[in-house]
Amino acid sequence: MTIAIIGATGQLGTLTIDALLERGAPAADILALGRNSERLQTLADRGLRTAEIDLDDIDATAQSLAGVDKLLLVSFGPGDRVTQHGNAIDAARQAGVPHLIYTSGLEAPTTILELAADHKATEELVTAAGIPATFLRNGWYTENHQQDFAGARERGVIANSIADGRIATAPRKDFAEAAAVVLSTPGHEGKAYELSGDTAWSFDEFAATAADVLGTPVRYQPLTPEQERERLLTVGLDEGTAAFIVTLNTNMRDGAMAPTSGDLARLIGHPTEPLATTLRTWA
């Protein structure tokens, strides 16, 4: 069985490859696809098949996907990603890929998270293409808060506008393991998994956990969205980036990343990694 990964050179893609190999998938059965030739060479050195692709060239991408049994499409970063996702989906349909797995966003069809609009649009493209698919609706990575932990260590203060909003995070490796399970076991076609950590925490709890891990006082300072925007501009962010962060944090304050379905733990067969465990690895 040939497993292909578009986005294999990114963080989630690389961790998914690690998880596949740990589960016993032969390296030669994994086709790593991406744009970074140096990182692709690193994967080739590990025994994987690799191909450099340009998603603007749908026909060439389809040729690279010939004979693939399962394709993982790792979502791209914000920008014109729906177009790129659409090109990948068209290439998969043209190549006759029998099973497409897409890393979507938590509760993408209904969430208040503005960032998830592209995921909802991509899911609709997959459905319209008629390819048997699985949606891995990934929640929030604990690693997204490494900067908060760094602030706790350096200043003893974490400040943002999330207030008492709760976030059910898990480390990226847990999400990668879930992708590897879906890629290497049968019966996932037509399903959507809402993936998040087992426990949703608040920033008061994050600060308390950081204080315990660091052995120094840490407090959480809630800001209004206006205060957060001004602080972000003061440290040099442009208006667009500051507005993006404030909107994201407002969505999380309102619970966009709080759901805990348990799907992630069920897929990987063990509890998701607790916040304190992840923070200890950063310390």
CB count in 10 Å sphere of residue 235: 7
Tens of pLDDT, residue by residue over 171-211, are 999 999 999 999 999 999 999 999 999 999 999 999 999 99
| Helix, strand, or coil (residue 220) | strand
Tens of pLDDT, residue by residue over 30-58, are 999 999 999 999 999 999 999 999 999 99
What percentage of the chain exceeds 70 in pLDDT?
100
d(CA 2, CA 125): 24
CB count in 10 Å sphere of residue 224: 11
d(CA 75, CA 28): 24
**Which residues fall within 8 angstroms of residue 206, CB to CB, at 6 or more apart?**
145, 148, 158, 220, 275
d(CA 193, CA 195): 6
The pLDDT score that the predictor gives to residue 80 is: 86
Indicate the pLDDT class of residue 249, thresholds 50, 70 and 90. Answer: very high
Domains identified in the chain and CATH numbers: 3-142+170-197+259-272 (3.40.50.720)
Span 240-256, average pLDDT:
96
d(CA 231, CA 183): 43
CB count in 10 Å sphere of residue 246: 21
Tens of pLDDT, residue by residue over 84-130, are 999 999 999 999 999 999 999 999 999 999 989 999 999 999 999 99
CB count in 10 Å sphere of residue 26: 12
**Joined tokens for residue 27:** 């390296």
The pLDDT score that the predictor gives to residue 77 is: 87
What percentage of the chain exceeds 90 in pLDDT?
98
d(CA 156, CA 10): 32
Indicate the pLDDT class of residue 261, thresholds 50, 70 and 90. Answer: very high
